[in-house]
């Protein structure tokens, strides 16, 4: 009888020790969905991470735009510790003390007049948004339109909404009800809208697709089409929300008012929590029993979110993102090996000039700098919104040295 590995030559089994298993264990107990990690981090503070050998790394990725206040922010750590000793879970059959204030803050930052559903991840927030669109529109209007290059999650529905066919292929057939159009092409979007469509879901900046900002005119055009065709405009702000782009939400760079907004990543500064906000008249489509989650909005996660939002407002993180983003962008554009920098605030992609982005990212990791190759030719940077000017200077210095070494190898 063939072993599982022999039957499937593509099955990858990372070494158990590399995944943090006890010494001597050869079988890795963790599924190989990310591949074997090269580093184990054991501590973090602000913009810095420390591995188990004691080496420090300047984190310019923030756990994929999650730890926007930096690692182990004292106010969030204190809130989580205090709440863990009082109450962790009750189920959503009962009210708890932090969910209401967090929802009120999010509603205020989004302009008011809405209601919030709490979940645990960005994918779940987007699932909620798309279920809400179907319920709001009624039977027969079940199609959600998204763009090629988009990323909305890894569940079956959010994967179907994601406009990256290569990610669909291993799991085909995809669920019905999702249609994709070209990015930044209003005419193509308009041609895809028929009587079966309930909503358009769009990222104000395509994050996983390469950090491509949407022009304000494009977002305004989507709003106009949604108004004309009686569709919901859903803004996926999972990566862009809560100050990262230099506004509280990415869509606020344009003169548009979405019907539904999803967010996650930065909301708990590392504690898993997400939210789907909708205008009250849209949220009213949901009735008890239509949607639920066991862990969403639990006291521990909402305590973390409440502390995170309080620090964000006290520190004016959109303003800090504008300042640090301009400083970082200007410095990066001066480096040899950089052809351009795109994005907004502290969500940036550095397009390289003839260099291999995955190799450069690996060399930077060896040099103690954490970024990722968001495309084969571009690096993504999403550091803490509280990054200091000195840390920006140090990051730029290390990136410059690494790019120069890679440039010398190519030349």
Out of 117, 118, 249, 265, pick the active-site residue: 265
Q: Does 236 show up as a binding residue in the annotation?
A: yes
Phi/psi at 44 (nearest 5 deg)? -150, 145
Q: Is 122 annotated as a binding residue?
A: yes
395 is in an annotated binding site: no
Is 151 annotated to bind a ligand? Reply is yes
* Residue 154 labeled ligand binder: yes
Residue position matching structure tokens 């209007």: 141
For the chain, the distance separating the N- and C-terminal CA atoms, rounded to the nearest angstrom, is 52
Among candidate residues 59, 117, 118, 236, the one labeled active-site is: 236
Catalytic-residue membership of 171: no
Catalytic residue among 117, 118, 151, 251: 151
Task: Tell me the sheet residues that pair with 411.
Answer: none
Mark whether 167 is an active-site residue. Answer: no
Instruction: Tell me which DSSP letter residue 184 carries.
Output: T
- 294 annotated as ligand-binding: yes
DSSP codes joined into one string, 204-234: SEETTTT-EEPPHHHHHHHHHHHHHHT-EEE
Cβ pair 266, 68 in contact under 8 A: yes
> In angstroms, rounded to a whole number, what is the distance separating the alpha carbons of residues 41 and 50?
6
196 annotated binding-site participant: no
User: Would you call 236 a catalytic residue per the annotation?
Assistant: yes
Q: Tell me whether residue 377 is annotated as binding.
A: no
For residue 136, how many other CB atoms are within 10 A of its CB? 21
Secondary-structure percent of the chain, ordered helix, strand, coil, rounded to 5: 40, 20, 40
Residue 59, Cβ neighbours under 10 Å: how many?
26
Backbone angles phi, psi at 339, to 5 degrees: -95, -30
Binding-site members for pyridoxal 5'-phosphate are: 122-123, 151, 236-239, 294
Residue set of the binding site for N(2)-acetyl-L-ornithine: 154, 293
| Active-site residue set | 151, 236, 265
Known binding-site positions:
122-123, 151, 154, 236-239, 293-294
């Amino acid at each position: 009888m063939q072993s599982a590995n022999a039957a499937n030559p593509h099955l990858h089994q990372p070494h158990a020790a590399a995944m943090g298993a006890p010494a001597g264990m050869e079988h890795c107990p963790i599924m190989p969905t990310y591949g074997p990690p090269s580093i184990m981090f054991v501590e973090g503070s602000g913009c810095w991470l420390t591995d188990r050998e004691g080496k420090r790394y300047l984190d310019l990725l923030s756990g994929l735009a999650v730890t926007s206040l930096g690692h182990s922010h004292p106010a969030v750590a204190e809130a989580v510790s205090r709440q863990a000793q009082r109450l962790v879970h009750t189920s959503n059959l009962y009210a708890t003390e932090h969910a209401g204030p967090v929802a009120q803050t999010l509603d205020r930052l989004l302009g008011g007049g809405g209601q919030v559903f709490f979940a645990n991840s960005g994918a779940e927030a987007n699932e909620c948004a798309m279920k809400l669109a179907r319920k709001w529109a009624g039977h027969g209007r079940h199609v959600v339109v998204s763009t090629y290059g988009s990323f909305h999650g890894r569940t079956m529905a959010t994967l179907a909404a994601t406009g990256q066919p290569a990610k669909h292929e291993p799991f085909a057939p995809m669920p019905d009800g999702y249609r994709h159009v070209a990015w930044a092409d209003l005419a193509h979007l308009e041609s895809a809208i028929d009587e079966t469509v309930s909503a358009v879901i769009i990222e104000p900046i395509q994050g996983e697709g390469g950090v491509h900002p949407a022009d304000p005119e494009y977002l305004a055009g989507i709003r106009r089409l949604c108004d004309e065709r009686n569709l919901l405009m859903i803004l996926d702000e999972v990566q862009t929300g809560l100050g990262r782009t230099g506004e509280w939400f990415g869509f606020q760079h344009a003169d548009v008012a979405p019907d539904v907004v999803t967010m996650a990543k930065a909301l708990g500064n590392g504690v898993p929590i997400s939210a789907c906000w909708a205008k009250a008249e849209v949220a009213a489509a949901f009735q008890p029993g239509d949607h639920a989650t066991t862990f969403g909005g639990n006291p521990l996660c909402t305590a973390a979110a409440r502390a995170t939002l309080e620090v964000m407002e006290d520190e004016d993180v959109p303003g800090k993102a504008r300042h640090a983003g301009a400083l970082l962008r200007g410095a990066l554009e001066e480096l040899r090996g950089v052809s351009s920098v795109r994005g907004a605030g502290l969500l940036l992609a550095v397009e390289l000039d003839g260099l291999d982005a995955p190799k450069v990212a690996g060399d930077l990791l060896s040099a103690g700098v954490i970024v990722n190759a968001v495309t084969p030719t571009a690096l993504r940077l999403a550091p803490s919104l509280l990054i200091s000017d000195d840390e920006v200077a140090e990051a730029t210095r290390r990136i410059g040295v690494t790019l120069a070494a890679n440039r010398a190898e190519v030349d």
